[in-house]
Structure 1
Amino acid sequence: MALRAAARKDSNTRDSLVKDSVAKANAKPARKPKPATRDCVLDFADSPPETRLLYSRMNDSISNTFIGGGFVGRCQGENNRLRADSAEQFQQAGIVNLYGNVTYEEPGKMQVAAAHATYFTREGRLYADGNVVATQLSTGSTFMGPSIEYYRSTPERPIARMVAPSRSTARLIEKDSLGRPGPPVTVIANRFEDTGDSLLMAWGDVVIERQQINGRSDSSAFDKITQRARLVRGARITNTDSAQRFVLNADTIDLFSTERKLDRVFASHKATATNDQLVLTSEWIDLRLKEQQLDEAFAFGPGRSRATTPQQDVDADSLRIRLAARRVREVRAVGDARAVGTPDTTKIRTPDKDVLSGDSVFAFFDSTATADTAKGPRIREIRALGNASSLFHIANSRGRASPPGINYVRGVRIFVNFDTGAVRDVRVDSAASGVYLEPVLDSLSDTTARRDGAARSRPRSGSPPPPSTGGAPARRPPSVPPPFERPAREPVGAGTVSTLSAYRRRP
């Protein structure tokens, strides 16, 4: 019996716990109390002497007030000031309408000038329209547009907020650590939202004009505390400096500044950077600036990265480009790297390319001022490190019109030096092997020469044919060249040389 009573007690306890949990789950959450609001007691003691007043009492607690001839006032207990040519207050609705030369001001925070405005006293919200100019007094930044909505800070809303719902122009002033204002940044967008004078958001056909830098995107964000800006969707950055122009395109572009000076630009998702000497494409591109000038560029991420210069195309898993005096100095490619170049067109005529590949490829350019500025810096040296191979064309001693020779080598490391854009020497370090192929006489030209020789030796019309001696044919005179024989095809790299039928091994 005792066991039965204990089991019944445990069952009742479990049932009560289940009922309590179900009741708590079905219980409606307690509603938060609405923030306390109070009506605005309008104080217009600072209005000019010619001010006219019409006071209309609706009942014991509601009244309307109409003011003309100039109005200066504020809500008692609020640190703000309203100015206008005329005003009207509807106490029950909590609205103050302002007309003509309207100015709303919070000392040290915000000043709004417009043709018309409505102040919602219970919300602490100002809606201004008609040639609106809003100035953030702490920084001097301004917003200009057809309409602007401002939410002042209150105990329920500690951070002020400003919204420009129509296409407007923002002129941002950034100050350095000493409080000195820098060059302004102009931003144009279909909609703005500024939070606490620290975070600015812009949407719709955003246009950014900064010192030597212009930008465009679908939307953007500016963090004034961390000095970071982000451009999203169809982002584009253009450097307007005539000495070093470049254009950066990507889906997203981040800009980083230190002491209000731009020092880094990071582009992600199908990024492309272009200037007069270089075209860089990659999933991610990281540009580093020094004294507002491009100093280094990094390309990496999923897929291949490619750098194209007037003389060399380099692609690899990742790239690093260094510049000196605004000119390309080094291109470092890491991860299944390959450099493809055009042979010297003044000495060689061929549709094929020179190819150098390896685990890593380093290209060094002549960045001195004496280099040809029209074609960019000339290639000075290329190094292939790890599983290296190279195929280069060598100028024919018979001139540019004759086919060039082909030098194909493999090794652990390969060093190629250039002289005025042409290959000067190729050095292979460790496990060297390869082949040199030189061109032979064109078979078509040789056949034509034999046909012309046969025509000259043919007897004239009316002459008796030469007597037949019978037996074996006469041997060819030594002066007649032997028939051309095509050598066997040499394996020099798939997809690099279209045909090698006109080449033979050098003995």
Structure 2
Amino acid sequence: MRALVLVMLVVTTDVTIAHAQMVAPGAVKKCALEVQYERINSIQLPSGTRNSYLGGNIVATCASQRMVLKSDSLEQYGDEGRFFFIGHVDYKEPRVKMKSDFLTFFQREDRLLAFLNVDAVLPNGSTLKGSSLEYFKPIPKVRPKQKGIAVGRPTLTIIDKDAQGKPQPPVTVTGNTIWLDGDSVVASAGEVVVVRPELTATGDSLYLDGGSGLLRMMRKPRIAGTKGRKFTLVGETIDLLSRRKKLERVLAKNAGEAVSEDLTLKSDSIDLRVTDDLLQRAVVWGKSRARASSPSQTIIADSIDVLMPGQRVREMHALRTASAEGTPDTTKFKTAEKDRLTGDTIVAYFDSIPASDTVTKARIRELVAISKATSYQHLPPQDTTFRRPAINYVCGQRITVTFDSAKVRLVKVLDSKPPCGGVYVEPDTSRAPQATGRPGASTPRPQPPTSAPRPSPAPVTPLPAVPAKPE
């Protein structure tokens, strides 16, 4: 085997000298590669530079930048200032480490283009794997921060540490294209998927600033909670905000909708608060008004604040012109209408569920309407054979509705002085259709009146009454 030869490859000879004479003082000096090889084939070009083809355990070093490049073979093109490393490429410098099948080093631009089986370790410890990575090295006064562009649907694994220096679970970003700007800014486009310990986020575009703790998903974003009781969140834009490397808020802007096992929340804006990777609170507001729906109740207001410690709904506060609608118990009558409770503020209380129970849905226990409160309720009639409900309407400064197994058990009214009060109305049984004597019997045809009909009296209804005594 031929002895190992040590040579110095310089991009140009006379051309380099001429260029150096044109560079202003203090300009960045380009890195000259010192290459070790076993064999070489070199061709001199008309410009005086050379194209060289080297093989056998290539080791290229740049002492000024502490850069080392290894490969099976190397092609160097003098006029272009381009080095093409082939096979088992291993690139190392103080900030970045990278392996790939092929790598091109553009010497004049301090730019690297790695492709096929790229595996890079970035300055902050994060890793990037994919089919192609273009890496722009930092240049003082020209390019203060390193930049990178990866195409071919790469995957970026972000490694972070908390305030105590303890490594946190990794966050992965996969997209058709990923842009890197410095140590902390990442952008991605094209079917982006973000996987965190507590959730998975998808969307067409992503912007991530590790310094400020902002991760923004754009263009049909969707968040799916994967820890504890599952939930989904959609909107035109969704921001994930972290502090000290821990997720604290998830904010959906414009056409927000959050769906969980217990509730569905809709409005212009939805703000979810997170502690220990679990939802603790949800705040909903917007010009389109806030809506919270459960299997038994629908609450609408200008804004809604849901308290859900440990991701289990406990209380719901609906503020300003609030209303709550629920399906009445129709076992003894039929109606398509809803029971309705209104007030300036409505507070809903839910039954407590053990922390170990991840299946049972939250059950409403009590509704309280405060300030200008009204209650419109359907009740079984006294004559249960008449399949129409009785109506109970009350108003007051405070109305409390108590539930048992999702059914209304008791309605209490506080301060029902005039103009507030109540009314109870039974259905008019005198207008019930007459039953025929046998099945299939024909109904007599009505005869025309022989004289002008006398006006019938209005149906008699009981005096206004309130079933529950005011407090």
Q: Which residue of 2 aligns with 1:437?
A: 425
In the alignment, which of 121, 140, 151 is matched to residue 107 of structure 2? Answer: 121
1:211 is the counterpart of 2:168 = no
Q: For the residues of structure 2 that align with 1:444 and 1:385, how far apart are their CA atoms?
A: 39
Q: Any idea what SS the aligned residue of 2:109 has?
A: coil
Q: Which residue of 2 aligns with 1:62?
A: 49
**TM superposition score normalised by structure 2:** 0.82
Q: Any idea what SS the aligned residue of 2:85 has?
A: strand
Q: CA deviation at 1:275?
A: 0.7
Q: Any idea what SS the aligned residue of 1:77 has?
A: helix
Q: CA deviation at 1:486?
A: 7.7
Q: Any idea what SS the aligned residue of 2:323 has?
A: strand
Q: CA deviation at 1:413?
A: 2.4
Distance 1:57 1:234, change over 3 A: same
Q: Which residue of 2 aligns with 1:43?
A: 34
Q: CA deviation at 1:91?
A: 2.5
Q: Which residue of 1 aligns with 2:375?
A: 390
Give the conservation status (yes or no) of the 8 Å contact 2:42–2:52: yes
Provide structure 1 residue ranges, at least 5 long, that are not aligned to the other structure. 1-31, 456-484, 489-502
Q: For the residues of structure 1 that align with 2:405 and 2:223, how far apart are their CA atoms?
A: 34
Give the conservation status (yes or no) of the 8 Å contact 1:357–1:388: yes
Write the mapping of 1:301-450 to structure 2, written as runs, cut at 5 A: 301-346=286-331, 349-369=334-354, 376-396=361-381, 399=384, 402-430=387-415, 431=417, 432-441=420-429, 443-445=431-433, 447-448=434-435
Give the conservation status (yes or no) of the 8 Å contact 1:279–1:309: yes
Q: Any idea what SS the aligned residue of 1:122 has?
A: helix
Residues 226-271 of structure 1 deviation map (CA, whole Å, 9 limit, x = unaligned): 2220001101000123x40100010100111233222210000000
Q: Any idea what SS the aligned residue of 1:226 has?
A: coil
1:134 is the counterpart of 2:120 = yes
Give the conservation status (yes or no) of the 8 Å contact 2:47–2:79: no
Residues 5-39 of structure 1 deviation map (CA, whole Å, 9 limit, x = unaligned): xxxxxxxxxxxxxxxxxxxxxxxxxxx98994655
Identity within the alignment, %: 37
Q: Which residue of 2 aligns with 1:170?
A: 156
Q: For the residues of structure 1 that align with 2:432 and 2:102, how far apart are their CA atoms?
A: 90
The amino acid across from 2:92 in the alignment is E
Give the conservation status (yes or no) of the 8 Å contact 1:263–1:288: yes
The amino acid across from 2:144 in the alignment is P
Give the conservation status (yes or no) of the 8 Å contact 1:53–1:67: yes
Q: For the residues of structure 2 that align with 1:87 and 1:397, how far apart are their CA atoms?
A: 97
Q: For the residues of structure 1 that align with 2:429 and 2:332, how far apart are their CA atoms?
A: 18
Q: Any idea what SS the aligned residue of 2:314 has?
A: strand
Q: For the residues of structure 2 that align with 1:213 and 1:189, how far apart are their CA atoms?
A: 17
Q: Which residue of 2 aligns with 1:102?
A: 89
CA RMSD in angstroms comes to 2.9
1:504 is the counterpart of 2:458 = no
Q: For the residues of structure 2 that align with 1:295 and 1:400, how far apart are their CA atoms?
A: 48
Q: Which residue of 1 aligns with 2:16?
A: none
Q: CA deviation at 1:394?
A: 2.1
Q: CA deviation at 1:374?
A: 7.3
Q: What is the count of residue pairs matched by the alignment?
A: 422
The amino acid across from 2:34 in the alignment is D
Q: For the residues of structure 2 that align with 1:184 and 1:245, how far apart are their CA atoms?
A: 21
Residues 190-213 of structure 1 deviation map (CA, whole Å, 9 limit, x = unaligned): 111111121000011111122131
Distance 1:263 1:401, change over 3 A: farther
Q: Which residue of 2 aligns with 1:250?
A: 235
In the alignment, which of 183, 187, 190 is matched to residue 201 of structure 1? Answer: 187
1:268 is the counterpart of 2:225 = no
Which of the pair has more CA radius of gyration? 1
Q: For the residues of structure 2 that align with 1:210 and 1:165, how far apart are their CA atoms?
A: 22
Q: For the residues of structure 2 that align with 1:250 and 1:433, how far apart are their CA atoms?
A: 43
Give the conservation status (yes or no) of the 8 Å contact 2:279–2:310: no
Q: For the residues of structure 1 that align with 2:345 and 2:430, how far apart are their CA atoms?
A: 39
Q: For the residues of structure 2 that align with 1:373 and 1:62, how far apart are their CA atoms?
A: 72
In the alignment, which of 212, 223, 246 is matched to residue 226 of structure 1? Answer: 212
**TM superposition score normalised by structure 1:** 0.77
